[in-house]
Amino acid sequence: MGQLLEIEGEVIELGYRIVAVSPDRPTELSKTIDSNELTYTLLSDSSMVGAQSLGIAERFGAVKVAAYKLNSQNIETASGQDHHLIPVPSVYIIDKDGTIRFAHKDNNHRKRIDTFEILSIAQSLIKG
């Protein structure tokens, strides 16, 4: 999430704003905001209702949940839920009318779209 700060100014100049959604409960968001020094909006979807409606919710099995815990990432504590759902890393560019102009998702949680690729796509959408 901190990588988006690299392009935030240019994104704002294009007329967009960055809004990120986290599976963490609201009380955990401040830790993420502070540790990454985020200046954009970060919202909570700890119930994963939003992620499910977008088709980007992935259910982790017991083995994967345990593996995350071994890496000090307890998704139950962070979300305050035991649904074992986490969002697939996704990026959407949405226009002022609410039309999704660009969508990207990758089920590999270690692989994220490059922030400068996001900026390039946003620039090309403005140019038409």
Q: Could you tell me the CATH number of the domain that includes residue 117? A: 3.40.30.10
Number of domains in the chain: 1
Query: Is residue 20 within 8 Å of residue 4, measured between CB atoms?
Result: yes
The answer, yes or no, to whether residue 128 has pLDDT greater than 80, is no
Q: Give the structural domain span for 69.
A: 2-127
Q: pLDDT tens for residues 14-27?
A: 999 999 999 999 98
Q: pLDDT tens for residues 49-91?
A: 999 999 999 988 888 878 878 887 778 888 888 898 989 999 9
